[in-house]
Amino acid sequence: MRIENLRLENFRNMEDLCLFPYETVNIIYGDNAQGKTNLLEALWLLSGAKSFRGARDGELIRFGQGQAVIEADFFGEDRVQTAKIQFGGKKSVWLNEIRQDSVTSLAGRFTAVVFSPAHLGLVKDGPAGRRRFLDTSICQITPRYIGMLGQYQRILLQRNTLLKDISYAPSLLDTLNIWDEKLAVLGGAILRLRMEYTRRLGAEAANIYSGISMDREELSLFYRPFGLELRPEQTKEEIASLLLERTVKNRSEDLRFGTTSAGPHRDDLEILINGRSVRAFGSQGQQRSAVLALKLAESRCIGEILGERPIILLDDVMSELDQSRREYLLNHLTGSQIFITCCDKGYFSQLQEGRTFYMEKGRLAQE
């Protein structure tokens, strides 16, 4: 996928902006607080997702104005298409001039992956963010996964409520088996998909990371099911029966704490560099490179399934990376359209092919 042009009207600090990007690398540079991240945010919103800054719609409209518009012509699914979102009053969305019910209609039509410093939590924080990262990607590739996850969450909640109820109504204990089985079947299917996706993602991420680090370091990913030893080739039915076994074993503990101790809601994605946890031992540059490799790998995995690669939005990625890592990002991510923001002109002196834009007070000048 690639953007042919972007138009913004009263979006954040940009009154009226037009961008004609290059088909490969685009650099947007400028001082702090000029609107670089705002521009990436606008592009990201066209993918139908929520703002990666957690912004509410009203915050996106330029101060003192009533509405904001993001509109882009993009090449996707072998043709030029148009996406438009209007904020202010009721949010309105159009795809190819046809009014849509909601922004989620743009998901899968306009595809993007984004890296911003906030995403460093992916390696630094707890496992919930990593599970969400896997789940979000799998949802894009396997739409039925959205329903599976929702159902799992509902059953988990019901089982947890039942565990608590049993303490004052012991006769309910017999009904626990039904929930255990339901949870194990769904859990097995979720685990199977997550393990399969981790394998794909891991292969792409390892490849990208070795490029970023000039073959000096090795990145590996492992899906870690909580309290279970699984082999990569196991079927969802085999996993479900192991999960059930584990749930039955944990029953007295679960009853004591009123919560379900094993299952995909407890699992983790382990990220290692040269065999060691990047969370515990990685330097800042390594952690940043690892998250980048995961995001870029995600774009390749989605691209492989959907037939075209999402655009890549890299916000403030250059700082903390050494010269050879920056050079890799600028010149070796072929096959995708990329937008990179940075403050310092020196960061992209090695750019071989691409377009650079200077952002000042919400206005963009092509260099």
**Residues near Mg ion (CB under 5 A):** 37
Looking at beta carbons only, is 24 or 37 nearer to Mg ion?
37
Dihedral class, residue 90 (left if φ above 0, else alpha if ψ from -120 to 50, else beta): beta
Residue from the set 1, 12, 87, 273 that interacts with ligand ATP by CB under 6 A: 12
Q: Is the dihedral of CA 88, 93, 94, 98 positive or negative?
A: negative
Minimum gap (Å) between residue 208 Cβ and ligand ATP: 25
Residue from the set 34, 47, 137, 247 that interacts with ligand ATP by CB under 6 A: 34
Binding segment toward ligand ATP, per CB under 6 A, in 57-65, 151-159, 277-285, 319-327: 57-65
Looking at beta carbons only, is 64 or 275 nearer to ligand ATP?
64
Neighbours of 223 (CB within 10 A): 23
Determine the residue type at 63: F
d(CA 21, CA 82): 15
Strand-pairing partners, residue 224, are 268
Task: For residue 85, give both structure tokens.
Answer: 């979102």
**From residue 267, how far is each of 55, 187, 254, 263 by CA, in Å?**
29, 11, 17, 7
Under the criterion CB under 6 A, does residue 168 sit at the interface with ligand ATP?
no
Residue from the set 56, 63, 168, 275 that interacts with ligand ATP by CB under 6 A: 63
**From residue 248, how far is each of 157, 242, 307, 310 by CA, in Å?**
17, 10, 43, 43
d(CA 323, CA 349): 10
Residue from the set 17, 22, 25, 38 that interacts with ligand ATP by CB under 6 A: 38
Compute, in degrees rounded to 10, the torsion defined by CA atoms 182, 185, 186, 191.
Answer: 150
d(CA 80, CA 74): 6
Minimum gap (Å) between residue 341 Cβ and ligand ATP: 6
Under the criterion CB under 6 A, does residue 336 sit at the interface with ligand ATP?
no
Minimum gap (Å) between residue 361 Cβ and ligand ATP: 9
The order of strands in the sheet holding 98-100 is 14-19, 2-11, 68-76, 79-87, 92-95, 98-100
Residue from the set 5, 16, 50, 59 that interacts with ligand ATP by CB under 6 A: 59
Binding segment toward ligand ATP, per CB under 6 A, in 60-68, 96-104, 123-131, 158-166: 60-68
Minimum gap (Å) between residue 35 Cβ and Mg ion: 8
Under the criterion CB under 6 A, does residue 289 sit at the interface with ligand ATP?
no
Minimum gap (Å) between residue 359 Cβ and Mg ion: 10
Under the criterion CB under 6 A, does residue 37 sit at the interface with ligand ATP?
yes
Under the criterion CB under 6 A, does residue 26 sit at the interface with ligand ATP?
no
In the complex, the residues that contact ligand ATP under the rule CB under 6 A are: 12-13, 30, 32-38, 59, 61-63, 316, 343
